[in-house]
């Protein structure tokens, strides 16, 4: 943790601000962020995507040496903590000093419960008033992941689609157990690991029922692709969360998927997550 004209928190694997290509805290608040690679930065919605020093360009050329934080792409998002959003960040769980800090805290909590999110890199804050504080969140790009929408648009192999749906099922159940409400989840903000041959194992802990479920369906844990959350707008901690919110979320995702998933895939997911009772066609409940 470092103080630089405000507040700066770096992940353990980031030795310094200079390792990110910046020279001061204010560089992270610039538009685009002022780094040694800013000439290659590009806007993606509310975020800037900025290469780390030493990251090759599209032609494979390296313009500078790495500075200790590895290579790859950073996502830099700036927040203004004014109005109701700033008030909620300050006084509701998880109570946080800024909007970026709230995102950081939610992501840490999800990771602690075995759920995938982008890797945290840096958190920066400046300003005196808690409700007028500017903040920046820096995360690493999730390599090898695509949106759930893109996955179902492009992947046709039924076994791969089935594994992704099983992973989504377990992930949403674990989100409920983690006590986190993420009402902003969509097919575009949920990412799935595309190459299941090299996928990391799901880190869902202490879930004996899910282990039995995987065995019953002849699915090895390491064969399930990871599902990652990337949007934390309106995220909040809840002490007790029943299935109602999960049901609403699954219905919303299923409706948004439309023709991207088959009727059988949709019904199978709804039944297994308890949204639809076993009054669905018999072939659904018999799927293994």
pLDDT for 115-158, tens place per residue?
A: 999 999 999 999 876 666 899 999 999 999 999 999 999 999 99
> Torsions phi, psi of 6, nearest 5?
150, -135
What is the rounded distance in angstroms from the CA atom of residue 188 to the CA atom of residue 126?
Answer: 31
Query: pLDDT at position 240, please?
Result: 67
For residue 31, give the DSSP letter: S
Higher pLDDT, 50 or 205: 50
Lowest-confidence pick of 30-34, 81-85, 153-157, 172-176: 81-85
- Domains of the chain by residue range: 7-140, 145-275
H/E element, 161: helix 158-177
């Amino acid at each position: 943790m470092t103080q630089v004209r405000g507040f700066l928190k770096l992940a353990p694997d980031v030795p310094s601000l200079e390792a990110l290509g910046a020279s001061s805290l204010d560089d992270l608040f610039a538009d685009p962020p002022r780094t040694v690679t800013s000439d290659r930065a590009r806007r993606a919605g509310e975020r800037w995507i900025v290469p780390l020093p030493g990251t090759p360009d599209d032609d494979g050329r390296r313009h500078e040496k790495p500075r200790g934080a590895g290579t790859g792409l950073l996502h830099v998002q700036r927040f203004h903590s004014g109005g109701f959003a700033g008030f909620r960040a300050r006084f509701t769980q998880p109570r946080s000093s800024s909007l970026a800090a709230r995102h950081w805290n939610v992501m840490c909590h999800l990771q602690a419960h075995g759920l995938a999110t982008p890797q945290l890199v840096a958190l920066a804050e400046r300003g005196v008033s808690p409700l007028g504080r500017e903040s920046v969140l820096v995360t690493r790009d999730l390599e090898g992941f695509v949106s759930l929408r893109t996955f179902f648009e492009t992947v046709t192999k039924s076994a791969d689609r089935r594994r992704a749906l099983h992973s989504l099922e377990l992930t949403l159940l674990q989100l409920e157990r983690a006590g986190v409400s993420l009402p902003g989840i969509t097919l575009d903000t949920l990412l799935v690991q595309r190459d299941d041959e090299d996928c990391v194992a799901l880190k869902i802990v202490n879930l004996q029922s899910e282990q039995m479920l995987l065995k019953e369906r002849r699915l090895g844990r390491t064969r399930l692709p990871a599902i990652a959350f990337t949007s934390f707008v309106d995220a909040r901690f809840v002490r007790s969360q029943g299935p109602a919110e999960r049901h609403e979320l699954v219905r919303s995702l299923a409706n948004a998927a439309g023709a991207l998933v088959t009727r059988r895939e949709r019904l199978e997911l709804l039944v297994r997550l308890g949204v639809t009772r076993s009054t669905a066609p018999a072939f659904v409940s018999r799927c293994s």
